[in-house]
Amino acid sequence: MMQPLLMGIDIGTSACKVAVFTRDGQAVSWESASYAYRCPRPGWAEQDPAAWWEAVCRAVRGVLAKGAIRPASIVGVGVCGQSWAPVYLDGKGETLANAPLWLDTRSGEECRAMNEAIGEEEIFRVAGNPLQPMYATGKVLWLKKHFPDVFEKIYKILSSNGYIVYKLCGQMSMDASQGYSWHCFDTRQGRWDAAMSEKLGVPRKMLPEICACSQAVGRISHEAAARTGLAAGTKVVAGGLDAACAALGAGVIHDGECQEQGGQAGGMSVCIQEYKADPRLIVSAHVVPGTWILQGGTTGGGGVMRWLEKEFAGYERAREGQVGKGALEQLNELAAKVSPGSDGVVFLPYMSGERTPIWDPNAKGVFYGLDYSKTKSHMVRAAMEGVAYSVRHNLDVAEEAGCSVKELRATGGAANSLLWTQIKADIARKDFVVPQSDMATALGTALLTGVGVGAYRDFEEAVALTIKEKRVHKADESRRAAYEKNYRVYRQLYQALKVIMEKNKQLNMREM
């Protein structure tokens, strides 16, 4: 008798990741397929949704082949995805334009105009989130203003994972956790707000129906089966926001439990059982019914180290074969040679503007404290510490909003670095737990799928059967003084440079 298997598909910023798990959470096979995003102008970042689908097809076929998996043994498929990336479809289900990503900040003027016309407080009352350029709402308003002919052709606007669900089973839907992308979505009630939709000028007919994240919305079509190798008729669940699925995959399902995100982007997600909204943070429905997640989302996460490796690690890349270590691992070792606090070097990780809690699309990355005594090692460690300061900043705000966080569960590739995880624990002054599985997002998507198809009784059973701890990092009080000093500088630096960053953005726009 075949063991039932669950598939999780994760539509990330730089790659699609696919993994198949047993009911007890063991990864049977996994694969990824990368794709690029375009930045044709400052503040723009976009992808062709067709590239996501092509990557999914390649990765799914790779997973099946690598694990010698019989397609019929997979009892359910779920998809999670990056947020705030609207996919514009016409009546035939064809894409009308590239999808602007969460990194995209081009809609600043449209957001300002709508905030003035409707009122920031009224928008926040409905959505629980401030109208900022990173959200889907502003991007759609930008399209409407600059390409009205394209806007008029829109039949439905889907999320990233909603688009892949559509390609798999032909059903256009939006899961409840992705609704927060929209400011005509009542995040407290989990439904569209028709009055706000009209005020924003986004026709309700363009918005798909909201589904519970674990709801089975369709079955693999014959066309999708031919492209992916999956069995036609396999159940497909609505899926969820990647941050929410990662939280589930780390075991975050109870009030006050918190997941720390160490993927391309950084941030944290606190599970709350009582709805709370703070304009400095992000609130969305959790994939677990009856709960929400209060999020801190930053643009500087694991992507900071990937940028450093790409631009400054030519020497380390050349030595990979000689030393038997990848360039990133070598950079990690360089950072470990520098004392906590990086001898006064402080890094602002605002590599594509910044989201929470400062909400500034004009913010820029900054190294401060350089002199002739500083080395590349100082800059690498300062970059790691800067990302940790951004997590600390969001945690401070979350606690001001009424959340009580005792420990964080670290996920994403960054959690594989013992040094970086310890730095985060020391700076946040919290315990950091690293789950056994380093594929929390895909695992959480698979657990969500399992609940939807009946493989688990509920989310409690799913977590109890699958989530195990690998290691725990406790805050080291001996490092507190150095980090507290730099954290104060970190906070002061942005405030001192904020006006300069704004003026520079205005100058650049006038020169275009």
Neighbours of 125 (CB within 10 A): 14
Q: How confident is the model over 256-298, as pLDDT tens digits?
A: 999 999 888 889 999 999 999 999 999 999 999 999 999 998 8
> What six digits make up the tokens of 326?
């990848």
User: Which domains, and CATH codes, for the chain?
Assistant: 250-512 (3.30.420.40)
Q: Are 180 and 136 in contact (CB under 8 A)?
A: no
Q: How confident is the model over 340-398, as pLDDT tens digits?
A: 999 999 999 999 899 999 999 899 999 999 999 999 999 999 999 999 999 999 999 99
Q: Are 336 and 342 in contact (CB under 8 A)?
A: no
Q: Are 265 and 280 in contact (CB under 8 A)?
A: no
Q: How confident is the model over 298-319, as pLDDT tens digits?
A: 888 999 999 999 999 999 999 9
Q: State the angle between helix axes of 480-511 and 418-428 in degrees (0 to 180), rounded to the nearest 10.
A: 100
Evaluate if residue 1 carries a pLDDT over 60. Answer: no
How distant, in Å, are the alpha carbons of 299, 379, 381, 398 from that of 426? 21, 19, 14, 18
* Max Cα–Cα distance, the chain, nearest Å: 68
Whether the model pTM is above 0.85? yes
> What six digits make up the tokens of 338?
């520098």
Backbone torsion region of residue 129, taken as left when φ is above 0, otherwise alpha when ψ lies between -120 and 50, otherwise beta? beta
So what's the pLDDT on residue 511?
Answer: 56
Q: Are 159 and 177 in contact (CB under 8 A)?
A: no
Mean pLDDT of the chain: 96
What is the mean pLDDT of the segment spanning 152-158? 98
The closest of 231, 213, 212 to 222, measured between CA atoms, is: 231
Percent of the chain with pLDDT over 70: 98
Cα-only R_g, the chain? 22
Q: Mapped to the 3 state alphabet, what secondary structure does 221-247 carry? A: CHHHHHHHCCCCCCEEECCEEHHHHHH
